[in-house]
């Protein structure tokens, strides 16, 4: 266990009260015809809360959304009294970014609790400011003995299950917040841009699920404003806004940020879409994604923007965030004997091999937005992930993964662990060469957890190419089980500062730990 409490300190809760009060105006009734409107008299309002992304030992990125043009000002302090604070003058935010803005923080102290408040000022009269919105986060430790603990999951508002006020909305976020992790890794499907929300859905047992609805969630997203509305939708939930104010995030994307099972160059055969060019839809979604999440690599110039990155969290952890969507080839039967594009693209694969070799962290956690050995079909003959159901030698996208696993073994890279979501259940797979058709790799673990607020699905079949053994699985026996019928899932990773042991816990909403595995540092073949 990490050497700190697993619940928020009282002072931290005081800070959060200010954040919740400032965001209370965003609460809406069960059915609305548009995103909530704000009167433009008075002062700027930050009613959508705050977020912090990609926190390191010395830096972070703070996000806010205004209801009108405003200047973003951030103050940080080591104490919640803000007696000795530092002021960061952020951007002028307006309609060009859907009134969202981010401010980078640099030169922070490692291993420190940072209290911050965001104030929005009238750009024509800086004395006219709105009520500050408060938040807090911990910077990454400089010392190994401090330990690291984080959560991961994905899949939010999918398959027709949105914010249900009858069950308290996204209650799983409140449960995760109370665990007080250092950060949260969202493994993709932050929205379901192709998922329409109906006002109500009758469940198999006769109960009725009710959704908060908005105009943007009444059809598939195609325009920039419709994608923006999808990202904004989740911020209607009180639990999520409170979570964002306390827990920094590391965000990646998968398919439903654009459309189910999409790939570059795809032309849609879907009557719901008037725009058939997926590349254009993806560009609009990426712009909205960049506006609504604090991801540092997406704040760069257009030529340098990319989702994949390394988030360094002290001497114990380097987090390798992959993008298995933007550079992939077309979904296919996956039987190609030569495939240099694969699921990562050639450049990203080279980057990942290079950064893994450079890493000196005890643990190298690879955040993949899709699983490796689970067979994920796309229609009758094509496949969506890496595996394609043939347990023999690597073919298609498996060739890239084989190259990566061979590199990890031959370079003597230890401490690699794979985390993912995507398949809407939770499981643990151990991969070993003695069970595999491809044998030139060191054993490793892959852990799956999700969804957070979406339908649950039965377990996928395994592909034997890399020798997976499903050590644990918890999944329903039918498709699209609602969150009222099936607990939602998230995972916890706890790296002990003294021993260096990494413990993975697969959790179910309600406080149950379903499965736990302890891994030893510096070893292969666990």
Residue 90 neighbours by CB under 8 Å, 6+ apart: 62, 71, 72, 73, 74, 101, 102, 103
- The bridge status of strand 416-420 relative to strand 363-367 is parallel
* Total H helices, total E strands in the chain: 7, 25
Q: Name the β-bridge partners of 334.
A: none
Domain limits, the chain = 38-138, 144-519
Q: Under the phi-then-psi rule, with left for phi > 0, alpha for psi from -120 to 50, and beta for the rest, what region is 366?
A: beta
Q: What are the Cα distances from residue 196, in Å, to 160, 217, 258, 290, 509?
A: 6, 5, 13, 22, 25
Q: In the CATH scheme, what is the code of domain 38-138?
A: 2.60.40.380
Residues 6+ apart with CB under 8 A from 379: none
Task: Identify the pLDDT of residue 464.
Answer: 98
Report pLDDT for 302: 83
Instruction: Quote the CA–CA distance of 436 and 393 in Å, as a whole number.
Output: 9
Stretches where the chain sits below pLDDT 70 are 1-41, 524-526
pLDDT tens by residue, 445-456: 999 999 999 999
Would you state the CATH architecture of domain 144-519?
Answer: 4-Layer Sandwich (3.60)
Q: What is the pLDDT of residues 338-371, one digit of tens each?
A: 999 999 999 999 999 999 999 999 999 999 999 9
């Amino acid at each position: 266990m990490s050497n700190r409490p697993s619940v928020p300190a009282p002072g931290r809760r005081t800070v959060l009260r200010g954040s919740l009060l400032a965001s209370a105006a965003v609460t809406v009734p069960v059915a609305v015809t548009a995103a909530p409107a704000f009167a433009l008299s008075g002062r700027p309002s930050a009613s959508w809360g705050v977020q912090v992304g990609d926190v390191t030992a010395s830096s972070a990125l703070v996000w806010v959304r205004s209801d009108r043009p405003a200047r973003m000002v951030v103050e940080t302090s080591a104490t919640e009294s803000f007696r000795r604070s530092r002021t960061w003058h952020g951007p002028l935010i307006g309609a060009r970014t859907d009134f969202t803005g981010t401010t980078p923080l640099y030169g922070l102290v490692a291993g420190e609790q940072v209290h911050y408040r965001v104030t929005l000022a009238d750009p024509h009269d800086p004395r006219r400011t709105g009520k500050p919105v408060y938040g807090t986060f911990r910077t990454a430790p400089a010392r190994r003995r401090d330990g690291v603990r984080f959560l991961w999951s994905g899949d939010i508002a999918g398959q027709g299950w949105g914010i249900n006020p009858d069950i308290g909305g996204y209650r799983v976020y409140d449960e995760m917040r109370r665990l007080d992790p250092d950060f949260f890794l969202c493994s993709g499907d932050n929205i379901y841009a192709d998922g329409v929300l109906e006002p109500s859905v009758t469940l198999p047992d006769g109960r009725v699920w009710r959704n908060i609805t908005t105009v943007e969630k009444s059809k598939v997203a195609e325009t920039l404003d419709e994608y923006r509305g999808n990202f904004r939708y989740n911020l209607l939930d009180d639990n999520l806004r409170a979570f964002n104010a306390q827990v920094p995030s590391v965000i990646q994307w998968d398919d439903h940020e654009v459309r189910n099972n999409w790939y570059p160059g795809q032309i849609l055969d879907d009557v719901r879409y008037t725009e058939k060019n997926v590349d254009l839809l993806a560009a609009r979604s990426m712009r909205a994604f960049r506006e609504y999440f604090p991801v540092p690599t997406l704040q760069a110039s257009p030529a340098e923007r990319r989702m994949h990155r390394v988030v360094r969290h002290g001497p114990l952890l380097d987090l390798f965030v992959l993008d298995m969507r933007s550079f992939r080839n077309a979904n296919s039967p996956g039987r190609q004997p030569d495939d240099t594009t694969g699921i990562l693209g050639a450049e990203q694969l080279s980057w990942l091999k290079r950064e893994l070799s450079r890493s000196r962290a005890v643990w190298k956690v690879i955040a993949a937005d899709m699983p490796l050995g689970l067979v994920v079909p796309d229609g009758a003959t094509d496949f969506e992930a890496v595996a394609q159901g043939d347990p023999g030698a690597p073919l298609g996208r498996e060739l890239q993964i084989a190259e990566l696993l061979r590199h990890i073994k031959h370079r003597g890279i230890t401490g690699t662990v794979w985390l993912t979501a995507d398949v809407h259940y939770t499981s643990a797979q151990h991969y070993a060469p003695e069970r595999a058709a491809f044998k030139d790799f060191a054993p490793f673990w892959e852990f799956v957890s999700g969804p957070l607020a979406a339908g649950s699905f039965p377990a996928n079949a395994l592909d034997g190419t890399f020798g997976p053994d499903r050590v644990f699985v918890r999944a329903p026996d039918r498709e699209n089980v609602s969150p009222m019928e099936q607990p939602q899932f998230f995972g916890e990773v706890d790296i002990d500062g003294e021993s260096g042991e990494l413990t993975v816990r697969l959790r179910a909403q309600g406080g149950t730990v379903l499965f736990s595995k302890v891994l030893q540092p510096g070893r292969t073949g666990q």
